[in-house]
Amino acid sequence: MSKKDKKKSGSHQVQLPKDAITRVNLGQAFAEYDQILMKPGIFVKTPAIMSAADPLLSKCFFVGRRGTGKTAVTYFLSETRQNTIRIHPQVLSPLLFPLEPKSLLDSRQRPFRSLMAAFKRALLDEVLSEWINRNLVKTEKLPQTLIRELRFATGLDFDFRILHFLEKICSPLKENEEENWLHEIGLPKKVGRAMMEVGVGTSMNFTLMIDRIDDSWDGSDTAVIMLMALMHACIELLSSVDCVRPLVFLRENVFDRVRQIDNEASRLETCVVSMEWTTELLMEMIERRLSLPFITKLPIGGLTWKRFFESTEKTSAESLIFDYCQKRPRDVLTYCSFAIEMAQSKRHEIVTIDDIIQARRRFSETRLKDLGDEYAENYPRISLVLDRFYGLGREFTLPGIDAFIKKLIADDQIKMHCSSWIYNYTQPEKFVRLLYNIGFFGIKTKKDTMFRPLGPSASNPPAIMPETHIVIHNSYTNALDLRDAVVGDLDENVPWQSAGLIGDLPDSVNLGDYTSKLTDLMEQLKTIPEGIDHYSEWEDTVGEVIKFCFYRWLTNVIPKVRDVSGCVVRDWVASNRAEGGFWEMIRIRYKATQVVWECKNYKDLTADDFQQATYYLNDSIGLFVVIAFRGFIKKHYYEHIKRISHQYKGLVLLLTNKDLQVFVRQAVKGKVSENHIQNIYDTTVREIS
């Protein structure tokens, strides 16, 4: 027997205990909650990860659909590279904007160049600030240009820096002060040159990872232009300042919005890395997680998979899972986790084909909700449209699609909640292309049915002919109870069947009342005056935000809760019954079975406010308090939070008026996401650690 054969034979002899399946936990499908990502050897070296890790690569935009591993790449870089900085910008949807959005559409003109200069300078200052924080350079040895820049680099965070620079650059532009504008527009170049003089050596080179852009992104024209300016600023910095390497992680639907309006979109597209996965990489991802609990490791490359997943002569587990999940890593991880839980509940030694099949409905329902949430920013309440396919056939002719659209636009709920976009897609070809682009529809050809691949360059479907058939992806079949039939027509007089996907609303309200309440809440957040005279209005409004935006996780919301002595009064207390995600993490980490909300109807917090928060921390209800106030978070607030963390082992989370507006806006559009509050939490933890 050759050495190669011996090695191969030995790999089959590695044994795991019979109850190995009971020890397996694949972790969280969302990278920001997944503690397993911190374990050594867990990352799969995808082309995107290899590109991000290569400092010589001139690509800086990592574009992919939701759940394709963008945030995981940032975790990989943070774990394997010392000189990394994470930025989660909140300023891409500013409350006040100094320029008219129409004046910014041409990327070659002064208004857009001003916006781009503000981003370049803010990014440079982020690296300069890190140099100072890590004592990589002595302040007294800096050139005068950087000494003057320190007050912005160390005194302001990224978002405040952007707002400040925008005002400084745009003010002379509006006043036609030519010399002042030229001076301000030239400062980023001067700062960059000075940093290259100082930043010699690899220890001074930093990678800026700009992620979670869509968390507080409202999808407005201004937000798109702000993002476009950030992207162009990154390209210029990448080619001109060696010590600064900005990387931007974007969802496809967000990148598409930029590409639609940018007259120099080709510059951006040459710097794109696609978040694509192969079957082999997906299997390796699962295998690494399967092996994690065991000292003895099975080889990667199929043997570990075969140890835990059944395959027969007719059916293989990998074909049932990978094809069903459209090769998205988050979906594969979720589906495998459901199948393993099914096997564990039945005390199987491996995941059987039956376990995989029985996990399909649960996965299908999760996937359908996730799809509606993913595209809610671009197409508010698109989940309503997807819901209307319930009980119909899995395949449609073009006349069948036309009949579906006619029935759809006559629907009162669709008119009320989808009117901002649905009438742009009343032609069958446009409607098919829309649902093809989001991964819901496939186009049936003579040879096969084609669904959209994951890459951002693959958004155009095959040609749609009069005889073309449209197929709904199999992963939505169970959730929508689709029949194995071809739909060629629909009776307008027959009512829709209901899938119950939109029934998850607070206090049993209907969708119309829910949306109306959220619209009123948004107006109240914008118009309630500050001060003691309107304290109760602000408090009531915050309570409504808790009830209508966090009802999936926080229940039994009660105002003015007193302790047994009557001395401590909490504005709002909500029971934390989350079964996953951010709020479950808060319950476990801070024992927060109850979440206390304190409302402050003013902009500036004082030491007394933080001292008051400590009265609410105890082991009975938890060590976590939320303060909702009207201003912006200032650096010295974190010093108070740090003291509380060290002294009481608890945490105070600050939510601004703008944060509350983000929660309401996402709820209006039907977006179920904890990313924004997770981002605020992450920022807080980093600042106090």
Tokens of 114: 């001003």
Tokens of 414: 């669709």
Give me the chain's average pLDDT, please: 87
3-state SS assignment for residue 551: coil
How far apart CA 597 and CA 573 sit, in angstroms, is: 6
Helices (H), 529-580: 535-549
Contact 70, 64 (CB under 8 A): yes
Tally: H helices and E strands in the chain = 28, 15
Contact 574, 556 (CB under 8 A): yes
Model pLDDT for residues 245-262, shown as the tens digit of each residue:
999 999 888 888 898 889
Quick one: average pLDDT of 429-450?
91
Give the CA-trace dihedral at 176, 179, 185, 187, to 10 degrees.
-150
Residue 209 has pLDDT above 90, yes or no: yes
Burial per residue of 626-654, b for 16 or more beta-carbon CB atoms within 10 angstroms, e otherwise = bbbbbbbbeeebbebbebbbeeeebbbbb
Model pLDDT for residues 510-566, shown as the tens digit of each residue:
777 888 889 899 999 999 999 988 999 999 999 999 999 998 889 889 887 554 444
Tokens of 535: 């304290």
CA atoms within 13 Å, Cβ hemisphere of 370: 19
Q: How many C-beta atoms lie closer than 10 Å to residue 201's C-beta?
A: 8
Residue 567 has pLDDT above 90, yes or no: no
Tokens of 59: 């690509």
Task: Give the 3-state DSSP-derived string for 647-688, with helices as H, strands as E and coil as C.
Answer: HHCCEEEEECHHHHHHHHHHHHCCCCCCHHHHHHHHHHHHHH
pLDDT at 457: 53
Where on the phi/psi map is residue 135: left (φ > 0), alpha (ψ -120 to 50), or beta? left
Model pLDDT for residues 15-40, shown as the tens digit of each residue:
778 889 999 999 988 887 888 988 88
Q: Give me the percent of the chain exceeding a pLDDT of 70.
A: 93
Model pLDDT for residues 334-362, shown as the tens digit of each residue:
999 999 999 999 999 999 999 999 999 99
pLDDT at 590: 92
pLDDT at 116: 94
Architecture of domain 506-688: 3-Layer(aba) Sandwich (3.40)
3-state SS assignment for residue 545: helix
pLDDT at 16: 76
Higher pLDDT, 638 or 499: 638
Q: Give me the percent of the chain exceeding a pLDDT of 90.
A: 54
Sign of the alpha-carbon dihedral angle for 282, 285, 288, 292 = negative
Reduced DSSP (H G I as helix, E B as strand, rest coil) percent helix, strand, coil of the chain, to 5: 50, 10, 35
Contact 670, 381 (CB under 8 A): yes
pTM recorded for the entire structure: 0.77
Quick one: average pLDDT of 295-306?
87
Residue 66 has pLDDT above 90, yes or no: no
Residue 14 has pLDDT above 70, yes or no: no
Tokens of 326: 């459209």
Higher pLDDT, 12 or 120: 120
Quick one: average pLDDT of 617-639?
92
Residue 440 to residues 282, 328, 450, 473, 671, Cα–Cα distance (Å):
21, 14, 11, 6, 17
Contact 632, 483 (CB under 8 A): no
Model pLDDT for residues 329-341, shown as the tens digit of each residue:
999 999 999 999 9
Residue 459 has pLDDT above 60, yes or no: no
Higher pLDDT, 503 or 318: 318
Helix (H) / strand (E) element for 526: namely: helix 511-527
pLDDT at 1: 42
Residue 605 has pLDDT above 70, yes or no: yes
* Beta-sheet strands, E only, within 417-461: 441-444, 449-451
Length of the chain as a residue count:
689
How far apart CA 417 and CA 320 sit, in angstroms, is: 36
Relative to beta strand 651-655, strand 569-576 is: unpaired
Q: What is the DSSP letter of 68?
A: S
Phi, psi dihedral angles at 630 (to 5 degrees): -100, -10
How far apart CA 198 and CA 532 sit, in angstroms, is: 51
Tokens of 263: 């007259």
Helix (H) / strand (E) element for 494: namely: none
Helix (H) / strand (E) element for 444: namely: strand 441-444
Q: Write the CB contacts of 635 (distance below 8 Å, at least 6 apart in sequence).
A: 155, 157, 687
Strand pairing partners for 273?
A: 62
* Residue 378 pLDDT class (50, 70, 90 cuts): confident
Residue 604 has pLDDT above 60, yes or no: yes
Residue 568 has pLDDT above 70, yes or no: no
CA 220-225-229 angle, to 5 degrees, is 150
pLDDT at 11: 42
Residue 316 to residues 242, 312, 357, 448, Cα–Cα distance (Å):
49, 6, 12, 20
- State the burial class of residue 600 (Cβ atoms within 10 Å of its Cβ: 0-12, 13-18, 19+): buried
Quick one: average pLDDT of 379-390?
93
pLDDT at 201: 78
How far apart CA 459 and CA 433 sit, in angstroms, is: 9
Q: How many C-beta atoms lie closer than 10 Å to residue 546's C-beta?
A: 22
Helix (H) / strand (E) element for 64: namely: strand 61-64
Model pLDDT for residues 483-495, shown as the tens digit of each residue:
988 999 988 877 8
pLDDT at 6: 42
Residue 196 to residues 128, 142, 204, 628, Cα–Cα distance (Å):
11, 11, 9, 42
Burial per residue of 295-318, b for 16 or more beta-carbon CB atoms within 10 angstroms, e otherwise = eeebebeeebbbbbbbeeeeebbb
Sign of the alpha-carbon dihedral angle for 514, 518, 524, 527 = negative
pLDDT at 498: 61
- Say which amino acid occupies 25: N
Residue 623 has pLDDT above 60, yes or no: yes
Contact 92, 213 (CB under 8 A): yes
Give the CA-trace dihedral at 117, 121, 124, 128, to 10 degrees.
170
Tokens of 252: 């496809």
How far apart CA 549 and CA 315 sit, in angstroms, is: 43
Quick one: average pLDDT of 273-302?
90
